[in-house]
Structure 1
Amino acid sequence: MTKPAPRQTDTQKKERLVSLRPTAPIVPPVNVSGRALMVVIAIMSFLCAVTLGTVTMVQEKAQAWQGDVASEITIQVKPVDGLDMEKALLEVRAVALSYPGALTAEIVDRRSTARLLEPWLGEGFDMDELPVPRLVIVTIDEAAPPDFGAIRQSLAETVPAATLDDHRAWASRLISMARITVFVGVGILALMFATTMLTVIFATRGAMVGNRHIVEVLHFVGAETGFIAAEFQKHFLIIGLKGAAVGGGLATIAFLLLGFWQSNSLATALNDQVTALFGRFTLSSAGYFGIIGIVVLIAGMTALTTRLTVIRTIGEIDRQRADPSLSEIG
């Protein structure tokens, strides 16, 4: 004869029902506001990544300019009446190579000169009808450069129409402009991070308002502040990570597409001028690691900001509970 099962009390039945009921997350799954926050974070991450990539390219270009200035000089020959340009270019080249420290001297041919002028003069213009100067690019020894003053003197005696430009003044202004651009880019990057942080704070406080009754009940029955904050932190960390990854990925694709366009439009006037001004639209390994760092930083910043906001909000709940007169505030 089997022994009848003990009769359960009402309290035991309620506890059993609670244990069988699936637990819902404190913070609901991604809703409309969560998707909106993800889009905002993606946009801010994209702008941050583009800014960082641009700053990186400008800084690398400035370093390249410094290297070019230290390794090259330019000799310009202006067309004048009675001047045999091709002969004058050969004489200029010979004068430059006669000085120690001048390694090579390359005459820029007519086709290359015309391609440099096409963005301003258009295609098919006749160089013989315009007083277009010709150039000789001289590569120098950076460790032991030639005597520029002596070269200028020899050119004045041999080819009076030739002038030497060591690019020092022009490059100095250009490098200063590049450094200012980097400084402004870093400032814009800091403002974007601050804007993203404020956006996360407002979104977190909005989520807290929508779930305040749940948080109050959990906190009232004994749920620790750290536990509640961890739940919100986990929720917004996923949102921040997804949004930042989308924004960083789009920025990476944008740089790859620009680099692809640039590599497939070689030997064109537009490409030559864009490359001369901005360099190659290709990020170095430091640029790509920087984009990954932005994704991680924004996701971590989102989680940390969320945690601090939740802890502060729970503190306000505790103060209102201790002083009912504060219940109307917030």
Structure 2
Amino acid sequence: MNDFDVARWRPAPFLPEADARDGSLTFVVAVLCFLACLTLLGLLAANRAADNWTDQLHGQATVIVRPKANETPDGAAARAAETLAGVAGVAEARALEKEKAEALIAPWLGDADLSDLPVPRLVAVQLDRTAPAGAQALDRALKAQGIDAVVDDHSAWMGDIQKAAQTTRWAGLAIFGLIAIAAASVVAFATRAGLAARREVVEVLHLSGAEDRFIARLFQLRFARMAAVAGLFGAAAAAIMGAGLRIAGGGEGLTPVLPIAWSDLLFVLPAPLAAAAVAAVAARFTAQALIRDFS
């Protein structure tokens, strides 16, 4: 009697459900997704920090006041603050005390004794957010009152911050692209190895009338599922690390230089889909090219 049960028979899949290389491949893709998500979080935090610094500098100006021979430094600073307070586009002008001016200069001079140095007085100007006064308007108002002063509207600092932010963005995008290329290369290598191991099966399928697209689609779906799972693990690990940095740093993220927000963690959600898409494209093109070579 034949023990073969036709009702329970199922055809064996062309690609086995499990492969000895799947664990290593999943780990590598998960690590790449983790690095890509961390790069994305770093880019978001860097952009936020640059915007915050630029916004703070945009609403402020600093005036360095040099007293004349017939007036004291404090008197010259007070007169400059009074003059600037009346300029349109200025919300507040306040003369800084000598101690505060020396505290600002001290980091640049080290342990030098500032008591004998002619430390200039500073006037902190808070500009109107809606219609801020420009450096030329402030300078004209000071010269009209005969005050010897230099106006710093922080434009040089803002330009440097914007350049640094732009450089960071391009560097982050380059790293992100390299990681995507690395993931595609790994999947392409795995696809090539899988097809090479099943070359005889591919030839039999060809003789049976199977089209190249059908065979390539099998590899495409397999590696897309694998990459989606790996992307899920990588994105989850990056989100956990980002949340840890956010909690460790309080309201400003890890440090004021890297202010991570809770909303940034939402940007890692598409990582599994992106990983699956990259793997599917890489597997399909690699499989089609190799199948044509087999033919």
Q: Give the TM-score band, short-chain normalised.
A: 0.7 to 0.9
Compare CA radii of gyration and give the structure with the larger one: 1
Q: Verify the 8 A CA contact 1:101 1:144 in the aligned structure 2.
A: yes
Letter of the aligned partner of 2:138 in structure 1? F
Letter of the aligned partner of 1:235 in structure 2? R
User: Which whole-Å deviations, capped at 9, do the CAs of 1:57-101 have from their partners, x for residues lacking one?
Assistant: 33344444443343221235799xx9676x776555433312121
Task: Provide the residue aligned with 1:242 in structure 2.
Answer: 229
Task: Provide the residue aligned with 1:34 in structure 2.
Answer: 22
CA distance in 2, matches of 1:244, 1:108: 54
Task: Provide the residue aligned with 1:210 in structure 2.
Answer: 197
Task: Provide the residue aligned with 1:258 in structure 2.
Answer: 245
1:281 aligns with 2:283: no
The count of corresponding residues between Structure 1 and Structure 2 is 290
Cα distance change of structure 1 residues 265 and 182 upon mapping to structure 2, 3 Å threshold: closer
Q: What is the deviation of 1:135? A: 6.3
5 Å-filtered alignment, 1:71-150, equals 71-75=59-63, 92-105=80-93, 136-145=124-133, 147-150=137-140
Letter of the aligned partner of 1:263 in structure 2? G
Task: Provide the residue aligned with 2:290 in structure 1.
Answer: 313
Mean alpha-carbon deviation: is it higher for 176-185 or for 88-97?
88-97
Letter of the aligned partner of 1:167 in structure 2? H
Which sections of structure 1, spanning at least 5 residues, go unmatched? Answer: 1-7, 320-330
Q: Verify the 8 A CA contact 2:242 2:265 in the aligned structure 1.
A: no
CA distance in 1, matches of 2:9, 2:84: 89
Cα distance change of structure 1 residues 261 and 93 upon mapping to structure 2, 3 Å threshold: farther
CA distance in 2, matches of 1:133, 1:180: 36
Q: What is the deviation of 1:41? A: 1.0
CA distance in 1, matches of 2:27, 2:168: 28
Task: Provide the residue aligned with 2:155 in structure 1.
Answer: 168
Q: Secondary structure at the match of 1:201?
A: helix
CA distance in 1, matches of 2:104, 2:223: 54
Q: Verify the 8 A CA contact 1:241 1:298 in the aligned structure 2.
A: yes
Letter of the aligned partner of 2:261 in structure 1? T
1:195 aligns with 2:182: yes
Task: Provide the residue aligned with 1:293 in structure 2.
Answer: 270
Q: What is the deviation of 1:203? A: 1.0
CA distance in 1, matches of 2:238, 2:179: 15
CA distance in 1, matches of 2:245, 2:205: 52
| TM-score normalised to structure 2 length | 0.76
Letter of the aligned partner of 1:204 in structure 2? T
Letter of the aligned partner of 1:247 in structure 2? G
Q: Which has the higher helix share?
A: 1
Q: Verify the 8 A CA contact 1:93 1:107 in the aligned structure 2.
A: yes
User: Which whole-Å deviations, capped at 9, do the CAs of 1:83-128 have from their partners, x for residues lacking one?
Assistant: 676x7765554333121210134677979x979989x989xxx998
Alignment equivalent of 1:182, drawn from 169, 178, 185? 169
Task: Provide the residue aligned with 1:328 in structure 2.
Answer: none
- Aligned alpha-carbon RMSD (Å): 4.1
CA distance in 2, matches of 1:163, 1:137: 13
CA distance in 2, matches of 1:154, 1:132: 20
| TM-score normalised to structure 1 length | 0.69
Percent identical among aligned pairs is: 22
Which sections of structure 2, spanning at least 5 residues, go unmatched? Answer: none
Q: Verify the 8 A CA contact 2:61 2:151 in the aligned structure 1.
A: yes
